[in-house]
Amino acid sequence: MTTERKKLVLIGNGMAGVGTVEQILKLGGAYDITVLGSEPHPNYNRIMLSYVLEGSKTIDDIILNDLDWYKDNGIELHTGTRAVRIDGEARQVVAENGQVFPYDKVIIATGSNSFILPIPGSDKEGVVGFRDIADCEQMLDAAKSYKQAAVIGGGLLGLEAAKGLVNLGMDVTVVHLMEDLMERQLDHTAATMLKAELERQGVKFAMGKQTAELTGDSRVSGLRFSDGTELEAQFVVMAVGIKPNVELAKNSGIDVNRGIVVNDYLATSLPDVYSVGECTEHRGVCYGLVAPLFEQGSVLAKHLSGVDTAPYEGSVVSTKLKISGVDVFSAGEFIDTAEHTVIAAKDDWKRTYKKILLKDGRIVGAVLFGDVTESANLQKLVKTGAEMTDELYSELMGTGCCGGGAKKTASVETMADEEIVCGCNGVTKKAIVDAIQDNGFTTVDEIKACTGATRSCGGCKPVVEQILQYVLGDGFQQSAKTGICGCTTLSRDEIVAEIKAKGLTTTKEVMNVLGWKQEEGCSKCRPAVNYYLGMIYPDTHQDEKESRFVNERMSANIQKDGTFTVVPRMYGGVTTPEDLKRIADVSIKYDVKVVKVTGGQRLDLIGVKKEDVPKVWEELDMPSGYAYAKSLRTVKTCVGSQFCRFGTQDSLGMGALLERKYERLDFPAKFKMAVNGCPRNCAESCTKDIGIVGNDGGWEIFIGGNGGIKPRIADSLCKVKTDEELVEICSAVMQYYRETGNYLERTSEWVERLGLEQIKSVILDQPEERRALAQRIDFALAQVKDPWKKMLNDDKTRTALFEHAEIR
């Protein structure tokens, strides 16, 4: 006789609710599960929206559970479906579209809404919150059309939104009522350091300002403050707080204060109805941070699965901020008073700050800025109210004589099994330990694939590594060696050495002979191995298009709507009227949505349909600008001595020469150059992979610059007197990077990894090796033809490229 499975309905498809369902599945809870989500997306990581804004991740990257996950686990998912009421008598959930869903148990996880200030103008076009993908998409769209933005609110969300908009090219001012940023998490010292660091990264601030009105007609045009001053802005993000989404609970007659009131087992006042997450109020507290929500979900999952569990008694909250190199952590109490004992250390040179607060000799709070490696340890100590000892003081403040490794292992050893290691995905220490012991895992990548730990922001990776070391003991160093991806333990250098030693010639051969765990590899290692083979065998390697990213196979950049951006080459940023007319004619004929002038001095044809891409290229009859490739993208130039009264060298001519010479050749990552005719730096050589600056005596060469997510000013490599010397040194640097760079490693990272002195010793101190490197790149260039031209002339190849499964 079989027992009918009970029906569980989850209202809300966010992190807290789905995290609870994940735990129920792991515990073997016998439910038929239905999930109702108001958004048109599967479950995604809301914490990572700031990374989408700053450009380091796409929306696809932050999906936690794709549609296949729901199907594989027998979960009935209804996206775009908003539940409006729970009928306790009929025991069914009623949706806005009229659908009804019978239940035995219900979990409410409706989250929270952005708090929009009730001021005149708050309903104007161009005013948004920052809570979901729709908000994020509005911000991305606004950055394309408007220059000035204001973010109201200097808390965690506001600062993440501001930095994301800055990275999108907007002029951003954070408007904050208080004099300190993140005043609910940081003391004055940490807040001041945070503000200074964000100002260095381009964020502006208007502190102590109260917004009284948003000005403009139908669209916002500015802010008017209570003191009468004004700020111009065509886009405004409200990030002044959140309010629990309790509308459904109210409609259902469930007890509500600020949030949905629950007991210590997360039960509401309506029988068999539970609540977790930001919509929930427990013992008078609503939590807006992710770790408490997973702690609630863990208790509820055990309760619903019939597993003994301690009740939920509240959480010690902590905050961790990480955007573009800014690391901040806060836990427990952070403002010192007369009753506190304060332990603090501030280093203005390293821009780090650490403060620990004690009450009656016990740790009750901590603040970290710049270096947050102790965050997990301090969070545990605050949570348990650990007593400060001389030994612990030495460990925390770095004054002891023992090595860091022993300290870190000890801190992991004392962590409770149910302590959350990965706050983004709610992964506990026990889940990681079990994954290691049950599956024989030895790497972080294996743990990530199994448990989800580190798959989001990566901030918990050091703790996961410590747990690996703790579980594996003496075998950790050897067995935990990390390869280029989870498919292999081999590093880049080991793979290259094996290819050369064994004469391996194809990606499949490499993976088979070298014992790949996944026979076909993955989207991370296939392009890398294909690049290594092409670099080693430039004359014989047959490029494997199926191992290329979709952009490279299409010779165009895919956009979020599925159309493509086509970018023709303009050598040194110079074009002709004939080429401009051809671009205009093609753009009109194929209904190109936007023609944009780029920072690389060329034109983007945005919105080309996939099926039109070959025809667009054919009718343009211009070389590809390789805007999609791991190759030379652009050589930016100023007008130089040909036209400028300050120019000392012909930057236009040199830029075009370099671009024509090095186009088409693959590199480990995208590669950008710039040539200035004088030191005024109009072409921004200081932020390019190779930057060249003309002077009265010749040229100065800079390497390793980056203007992207991790900005870096280029290092001066050398000065040369002749154009011939310049070209030879550029060739040698580029080939040395090709031969020693990790796949997807930009030169900014490569220079820091190898060290400038090492590069100088090879390029400058060994003229024979320099010439050999230059000869090798010339040989490689001689083998390369424009692959797009070849594809256009080969119908079979063209069809294969367009139909092959995509690598993103």
Q: Give the phi and the psi of residue 245 in degrees, each rounded to 5.
A: -85, 95
Give the residues across from 213 on adjacent strands. 224
718 is in an annotated binding site: no
Q: What is the pLDDT of residue 415?
A: 74
Give the residues across from 93 on adjacent strands. 86, 101
Mean pLDDT of the chain: 85
- The secondary structure of 394-408, three-state, reads HHHHCCCCCCHHHHH
Q: What is the pLDDT of residue 785?
A: 66
> Considering only CA atoms, which of 377, 279, 267 is closest in space to residue 312?
267
DSSP string covering 57-94: S-TGGGEEE-HHHHHHTT-EEETT--EEEEETTTTEEE
Alpha-carbon gap, residue 309 to 417, rounded angstroms: 13
Q: How do residues 417-433 score in pLDDT, each as one tens digit?
A: 877 787 767 788 888 88
> Do the beta carbons of residue 18 and residue 43 sit within 8 Å?
yes
682 is in an annotated binding site: yes
Q: How do residues 212-253 score in pLDDT, each as one tens digit?
A: 999 999 999 999 999 999 999 999 999 998 899 999 999 999
Q: What is the pLDDT of residue 304?
A: 95
**Local confidence band at 700 (pLDDT 50, 70, 90 cut-offs):** very high
Cα 474 to chain centroid distance, Å, stands at 34
Q: How many helices (H) and strands (E) does the chain have?
A: 29, 38
Of 121-130, 221-230, 572-581, where does mean pLDDT reach its minimum? 572-581
Q: What is the pLDDT of residue 624?
A: 77
Residue 16, SS3? helix
Rounded (5°) CA angle 317-320-323: 155
Is residue 800 scored above 50 in pLDDT? Answer: no
**Local confidence band at 477 (pLDDT 50, 70, 90 cut-offs):** low
Read off the tokens for 290. Answer: 């992710």
Q: How do residues 629-684 score in pLDDT, each as one tens digit?
A: 788 888 999 988 888 888 889 999 999 899 889 988 889 999 999 999 998 888 88
Burial of residue 240, with CB atoms counted within 10 A of its CB: 0-12 exposed, 13-18 middle, 19 or more buried: buried
487 is in an annotated binding site: no
Percent of the chain residues past pLDDT 90, beyond the cut: 43
Q: Give the phi and the psi of residue 699 in degrees, each rounded to 5.
A: -135, 150
Is residue 727 scored above 90 in pLDDT? Answer: yes
Q: How do residues 17-73 score in pLDDT, each as one tens digit?
A: 999 999 899 888 889 999 999 999 999 988 888 778 766 677 888 888 889 899 999
- The residue type found at 263 is N
Residues 442-446 have a mean pLDDT of 79
Is residue 546 scored above 90 in pLDDT? Answer: no
Is residue 112 scored above 80 in pLDDT? Answer: yes
Q: What is the pLDDT of residue 83?
A: 96
**Local confidence band at 118 (pLDDT 50, 70, 90 cut-offs):** very high
- What stretch of H or E contains 251? helix 247-251
Q: What is the pLDDT of residue 488?
A: 85
Q: What is the pLDDT of residue 695?
A: 86
Beta carbons within 10 angstroms of residue 370's beta carbon: 20
Q: How do residues 373-424 score in pLDDT, each as one tens digit?
A: 788 788 888 888 999 998 888 888 875 443 333 444 446 776 778 777 877 6
Q: What is the pLDDT of residue 409?
A: 46
> Do the beta carbons of residue 122 and residue 238 sit within 8 Å?
yes
Of 246-250, 479-483, 614-618, where does mean pLDDT reach its minimum? 479-483
Residue 634, SS3? strand
Highest mean pLDDT among 225-229, 334-338, 485-489, 558-562: 225-229
Q: What is the pLDDT of residue 388?
A: 92
Residues 706-712 have a mean pLDDT of 78
DSSP string covering 652-681: HHHHHHHHHHHTT-B-SS-EEEEEESSTT-
Return the higher-pLDDT residue of 192 and 788.
Answer: 192
279 is in an annotated binding site: no
Return the higher-pLDDT residue of 592 and 602.
Answer: 592
**Local confidence band at 475 (pLDDT 50, 70, 90 cut-offs):** low
Of 435-439, 458-462, 653-657, 672-676, where does mean pLDDT reach its minimum? 458-462
**Local confidence band at 323 (pLDDT 50, 70, 90 cut-offs):** low
Residues 798-808 have a mean pLDDT of 37
Domains of the chain: 6-112+244-304 (3.50.50.60), 116-240 (3.50.50.60), 320-479 (3.30.390.30), 492-547 (no CATH), 630-785 (3.30.413.10)
Of 76-90, 224-238, 277-291, where does mean pLDDT reach its minimum? 277-291
Is residue 544 scored above 90 in pLDDT? Answer: no
**Local confidence band at 596 (pLDDT 50, 70, 90 cut-offs):** confident
Residues 587-605 have a mean pLDDT of 83
- What stretch of H or E contains 792? helix 787-792
Q: What is the pLDDT of residue 74?
A: 93
Read off the tokens for 361. Answer: 């000799």
Q: What is the pLDDT of residue 406?
A: 40
Q: What is the pLDDT of residue 103?
A: 97
Residue 266, SS3? coil
- What stretch of H or E contains 442? none
Alpha-carbon gap, residue 742 to 750, rounded angstroms: 8
Alpha-carbon gap, residue 743 to 529, rounded angstroms: 9
Read off the tokens for 365. Answer: 């709070």
Alpha-carbon gap, residue 620 to 584, rounded angstroms: 10
**Local confidence band at 693 (pLDDT 50, 70, 90 cut-offs):** very high
The answer to whether the pTM exceeds 0.85 is: no
Return the higher-pLDDT residue of 423 and 199.
Answer: 199
Residues 366-378 have a mean pLDDT of 85
Q: Give the phi and the psi of residue 69 in degrees, each rounded to 5.
A: -60, -45
Residues 283-308 have a mean pLDDT of 90
> Do the beta carbons of residue 106 and residue 11 sit within 8 Å?
yes
Read off the tokens for 565. Answer: 């951006």
